[in-house]
Chains A and B, each alone.
Chain A
Amino acid sequence: MSFYLAIIGTKDNAVYELEFGTYRQGGDGKPKFSADMKQLCPFIVHSSLDIVEEMQWNTSVMHLKVIDKFYNYLISSYITAGNIKFLLLHETRADDVIRQFFTDLYDLYVKTLMSPFYSVDQPITSAVFDQRVRMLAKKYL
């Protein structure tokens, strides 16, 4: 199973992107997207932003669960207090795990945001952040 994670800033800009695969069921953590799909992932995630923006006013929770689908891909979303969107493209429904994943990711994101050298909407280039997100992905997904 492959995943595509994108953190989207307030201006539809990608703050962070990551493709990864599962470690469960003998997976090796590598994404298995086809070439077409690899190219399409950002577009799919981007097209779901409409729904995220609509849903955020309809609920008080941050985890919006599965909000959109494209063929048999599902898009889960999490919206932070600062209107930063976490979007995860995945293949099977696993709301609880994804919620945990998102919560921990939010934790990481907030820590990044507290850095005096980082401001909102900047791309996150920290290698440590990347490594920790991968660890989270390995832990939960």
Chain B
Amino acid sequence: MDSGTGEGSTSFTDDYETFISTTDVDLLKRAWRNEKAAPEILQYEAALVHRIKEQIELAEQNVEASEADGEDPLTMSLYQMDLDRTQFLLRSYLRVRLQKIEKYIFHILKTDESLNRLSDEEQTFAASCGDDLRAHLKETVLSKLPTDYNSELKQSAASEEDDMVPAPRLDSFVICKARQYISGLDFEPEYSHEITEMERDLLTFVCYKFIKKPLENGKIDLV
């Protein structure tokens, strides 16, 4: 039976004990919370999701095998509960990402940085979703507008940038906790006058774009 203690893809934690005792489910829970709280889509945790999927499949096989063997129903129901909990986390994580993709579909398709954060399947989904939405808009509205106004990205031909594309609001405020003491060097230089340091384990309401860099480095958790 596969045990729960995963090696962890954590390259950012210095505490050795937390390093060896952080399970994959903890990592997935952290990724889920960050994804849910962040206004833009974050980097896809491919290795973590792959490991969790393997563990879930193994657990499902074990539950089926023990059901066939006629094992103690209590133990089986407990294993099933653990399986359900992990599946919920994984599904919710993927679902939140899909919702974000659908919401900011044109923005993601035209920004390479966002596109690189998606997994391969998500990129296929985004491409086909974008095509469908474009075709739908053309058929219902855009084809009936004058030529200068029938782009789904620009308000009119006179617009300099794509102003019909909603972008994620990076100036929205999020609640976060630092996992270690963060000095001014960890933040972007342009925001150094806004936020100079962050203590460990202190709840902070802060503008998302200030903490974007430490979040990517794994020094901050969103709550």
- Co-complex (A, B): no
Interfacial residues, chain B to chain A (CB-CB below 8 A): none
